[in-house]
Chain A
Amino acid sequence: MDKVIIAENLSLSYKEFETIISKATFSIDSGDFVFITGASGSGKSTLLKSFYGAIEPRQGNLSVGGVKMNRISTSKLNFLRRHIGIIFQDYKLIKEWTIEKNVMLPLIISGYTGDVSGAQVQKLLGHVKLTHQAGKYPPELSGGEQQRVAMARALAHNPILILADEPTGNLDDYSSSVIWSLLEGANTQLKTTVIVVTHHIPEGLKVPYKHYHIEFGNINEIS
C-alpha cells in the first residue's frame, strides 16, 4: 500500500530550544482514517501544520504525498496543497465571498471552468444540506453551517488527503454528525486519506481507523 505520509526522526519546534515533536518516526498509508489525540499544547495541531507545510521540520525527514517537506519551494508547496483539503476549528471561510464561491475556491485555484465547478459546488452543497444558503455570506450562517461549508470546500477538488483540526470542536450534534458522515464517506467511497486532530474520538464510527496519541513530544500508535 502507498504511503501518503512518511516521517523519519521528525522533530518540530517554533523556537530552537523548544521541541514540540521529538524524533518521531511513523507512516500513514493511502486510504487510512487516522485520529491524532493528545492534551492541549501537546503538539497535535503543530504536527498537522507540518503536513500542509505551515511549519517546516526542524530535524529529520517528512514526506507528504511523495513530496519532501524539508525546505520545500513555494511552487511545490502550492502544488501539494492543491491536492489537500483542510478543515479548521475556526472554519477559515472568506467573509466577503458567498457560500457558493467559498466552496468553489479550490476549483478556482485548480483552474476548473465555471460549468464544471458550478455543478460540483451544487452537488457538495446538497451533501452538506446547504443548497438554500448558497447565495449567503459566512457571517449570516451559524457555526455548524459554516463548518459544513468548510467541509464542502475541503471535498470540492477531490483531494488525496483531508486534514481536519478539531473539526467538530464547537459544533452542535447535527452538524457534527454531518461532518463525520462526510469524512467517512470520503474515506470509504473515494479512498481519501483522512487525518483528524481531536481531543475525543467520536463513538459509533463505521470506518476502521488508526489512533496516534501525542505525549511529551512522542507519537505513539495506540490502535
Chain B
Amino acid sequence: MKSLKNHISLIIALFTVLASVQIYVAVDRTIAAYESHLKNDYSVIVVANKAFTPQEFTAMSSMIERSEPISTEQVLERLKGEMSEKNLALLKLTLPKFYRIYLNRFPTPNEINNLQKKLQKNTAIERVEGFSQTHDTVYKLMLLFKDVVQVFSIAIAAVTSLLILKEMRLWQFQHAERMNIMALFGAPVWLRSAVLFRLAIVDAIIATLILCFAFFIIDYYGVLTLPLKEIGINVQLFNFVNDALRSLAISLGISIALTFTIVMFHSEEE
C-alpha cells in the first residue's frame, strides 16, 4: 500500500511536469496558428500615383507575398449621379492607385515600420497605412499570453522536480537497507540501484501513457479544438507520434537523472 502510494506520488508529479510542457507546446501551436490566421486577414494599404505590377511590389521586400489593386469603380459609381461624365473621367485620371499588400508572415511592429519606410522610399508611393495601432495591441496581447504560459510552465516544472527529488529521497530511505546489504556482498552500484531505476522507468512510462490518454480525450471530444475552430483557428493540440515521444523522453530523462543523483549521493552504512 505504502509502495503504491509512492508510485502514485511520482506518477502524478511526472504527469504534472509533462502536462505543463504539453500545455506550453499546445499554446505555442495555437499562437502560431493564430498568427497564420491573422496574417491572412492582415494587409498593408498602399496609395501610389502610378500603377505597380505585383512583381514590382514583391521586389521591394522579401516580406511581401502578393498584392492586389483596390478597385475605385465602386466609389466612382456612387458619384455618378452627383457629377458630370466629363468630371468623372477627369477624376478617374487624377485618382491615385490603391493597393492591398499581403505579407508572408504576421509581422512584428518593427517589421511594419521597416516595411513602411522601404515602400515610402519609392517616390511614386504617396502613403502607406500599416494599421500599426490595432496590430500592436493584438500582437502584444498574444506575446503576453505566451510569456505568462511559459513562466507558469517553468514554475510548475521546477516545483514538481523538487517534489520528485523528495519522493525519490523517500525511495532511497526505503531501499537503503537492501542497497547496503547488497553492497556488503560486493554488488556494483548498478545492481544495488537496479530496483530504483526499474521503478523510475516504469513510473515514467505510466505518466506518459496517462498524458497521452488525457490529451487524446481532450482532442477526441474537441474540448479545446472546437472553440478554437469557431474563431478560425485550426490546430492539432496533441501530435501522437512527436508529442508522445517527446513526453516519454522528458519523463524518462527526469526520473533517470534524479534516480542517478540519489544513487550517487547514497553513502554506505558503516
Decide yes or no: A52 and B184 within 8 Å by CB, A94-B178, A96-B178 being known contacts: yes
Q: What's the Cα separation between A108 and B268 when bound, in Å?
A: 20
B181 to chain A, nearest CB (A): 5
Q: Is the CB of A81 within 8 A of B181?
A: no
Q: Is the CB of B178 within 8 A of A86?
A: no
Q: Is the CB of A81 within 8 A of B186?
A: yes
Complex interface: chain B residues within 8 A of A55 (CB) = 270
Interface residue? B81 (CB, 8 A):
no
Complex interface: chain A residues within 8 A of B188 (CB) = 75, 78
Q: Is the CB of B186 within 8 A of A105?
A: no
Q: Is the CB of A54 within 8 A of B187?
A: no
| B270: nearest chain-A partner, CB-CB | A54
Interface residue? A49 (CB, 8 A):
yes
Interface residue? B182 (CB, 8 A):
yes
Contacting B at CB under 8 A, from A66-116, are 74-75, 77-84, 86, 92-96, 105-106, 108-109
Q: Is the CB of A81 within 8 A of B185?
A: yes
Q: Is the CB of A78 within 8 A of B268?
A: no
Complex interface: chain B residues within 8 A of A105 (CB) = 181-182, 185
Interface string of B94-134 (1 = CB under 8 A from A): 00000000000000000000000000000000000000000
Interface residue? B144 (CB, 8 A):
no
| A75: nearest chain-B partner, CB-CB | B188
Q: Is the CB of B185 within 8 A of A86?
A: yes
| B179: nearest chain-A partner, CB-CB | A94
| A74: nearest chain-B partner, CB-CB | B189
Interface string of A175-212 (1 = CB under 8 A from B): 00000000000000000000000000000000000000
Decide yes or no: A86 and B270 within 8 Å by CB, A94-B178, A96-B178 being known contacts: no
Q: What's the Cα separation between A19 and B242 when bound, in Å?
A: 62
Complex interface: chain A residues within 8 A of B186 (CB) = 77-84, 106, 109
Interface residue? B32 (CB, 8 A):
no
Knowing that A86-B185, A94-B177, A109-B191 are A-B contacts, what are 20 other residue pairs whose CB atoms are under 8 Å apart, sorted by A's residue number?
A14-B270, A49-B270, A54-B184, A54-B268, A78-B186, A78-B188, A79-B186, A81-B183, A81-B184, A82-B186, A92-B180, A92-B181, A92-B184, A95-B177, A105-B181, A105-B185, A106-B186, A108-B191, A109-B185, A109-B187
10 pairs, A vs B, C-beta closer than 8 Å: A54-B184, A77-B186, A78-B186, A82-B186, A86-B185, A92-B180, A92-B181, A92-B184, A94-B182, A106-B185
Q: Which 10 A-B pairs have the closest CB atoms?
A: A81-B186, A82-B186, A78-B186, A109-B187, A54-B270, A106-B185, A94-B178, A92-B181, A109-B185, A78-B188
